[in-house]
A and B are shown apart, each in its own frame.
Chain A
Amino acid sequence: TQLLEQSPQFLSIQEGENLTVYCNSSSVFSSLQWYRQEPGEGPVLLVTVVTGGEVKKLKRLTFQFGDARKDSSLHITAAQPGDTGLYLCAATQGGKLIFGQGTTLQVKP
Chain B
Amino acid sequence: ETGVTQTPRHLVMGMTNKKSLKCEQHLGHNAMYWYKQSAKKPLELMFVYSLEERVENNSVPSRFSPECPNSSHLFLHLHTLQPEDSALYLCASSQEMFLGLAGSHPNFGPGTRLTVT
Q: Is the CB of A100 within 8 A of B42?
A: yes
Q: Is the CB of A97 within 8 A of B100?
A: yes
Q: How large is the interface on A (under 10, 10 to 19, 20 to 34, 35 or more residues)?
A: 20 to 34
Given A2-B42, A42-B92, A88-B43; A95-B98 close (CB under 8 Å): yes
Which residues of B have CB within 8 Å of A96?
Answer: 45, 99
Task: Select one of A29, A31, A42 contacting B108, CB under 8 A.
Answer: A42
Task: Select one of A4, A45, A102 contacting B105, CB under 8 A.
Answer: A45
User: A33 at the A/B interface (Cβ < 8 Å)?
Assistant: yes
Q: Measuring CB to CB, which residues of chain B are less than 8 angstroms from any residue of chain A?
A: 4, 9, 40-43, 45, 90, 92, 97-102, 105-106, 108-111
Q: Measuring CB to CB, which residues of chain A are less than 8 angstroms from any residue of chain B?
A: 2, 4, 9, 29-31, 33, 40-45, 48, 50, 88, 90-92, 95-102
